[in-house]
Amino acid sequence: MMGTPGESTEKTIPRIFPNGPIWSGILAAGIGCTALGALVDLAEASKSVSNALNFYNPTGDLSGKTLLAVIIWLVAWVVLHARWRNREIQSPGKIMMITLVLVFLALIAVFPPFFSLFASD
């Protein structure tokens, strides 16, 4: 049976791509943010940690905090991506909630009235 011009006689089956790689990036971002917050608090709590994080004198310990946070983010992303690359995440809301909690904790950790509680004089 012939169809009208432009009409397809074949049924196409949509291909479903796994969403694991997307969610691995989102969760890794939350992990990286929390790592930065933790490093800020650790540097405030300990002068020796602050000195150890001083990778570049003009920026002080900020150079170490940011570099280590980026490394932690990348490692988390690579590990999660390797585990979830072919996976369809069935409950992305749970991952989103965990990510939001991690970002919220990071925001609290870098808030000056909070990290000043740990300041070593």
Examine residue 46 and state whether it is found in any structural domain, yes or no.
yes
Examine residue 4 and state whether it is found in any structural domain, yes or no.
no
pLDDT tens track for 38-94: 999 999 999 999 999 999 999 999 999 999 999 999 999 999 999 999 999 988 999
CA angle 45, 46, 49 (to 5 degrees): 125
pLDDT tens track for 10-41: 777 777 789 999 999 999 999 999 999 999 99
pLDDT tens track for 88-120: 998 899 999 999 999 999 999 999 998 888 787
Closest-CA residue to 35 (of 111, 105, 98): 105
Examine residue 25 and state whether it is found in any structural domain, yes or no.
yes
pLDDT of residue 83: 97
pLDDT of residue 70: 98
Spatial contact of 84 and 94, defined as CB atoms under 8 Å apart: no
Examine residue 3 and state whether it is found in any structural domain, yes or no.
no
Range of the domain at 34: 20-118
pLDDT of residue 16: 76
Mark out the alpha helices in the chain (DSSP H runs): 20-45, 47-52, 62-84, 92-109, 112-115
User: The whole model's pTM is what?
Assistant: 0.82
Examine residue 99 and state whether it is found in any structural domain, yes or no.
yes
Residue found under tokens 């369809």 = 88
Count of domains forming the chain: 1
Examine residue 38 and state whether it is found in any structural domain, yes or no.
yes
pLDDT of residue 9: 64
Examine residue 93 and state whether it is found in any structural domain, yes or no.
yes
Examine residue 33 and state whether it is found in any structural domain, yes or no.
yes
Secondary structure (DSSP) of 13-44: PPPPPP-HHHHHHHHHHHHHHHHHHHHHHHHH
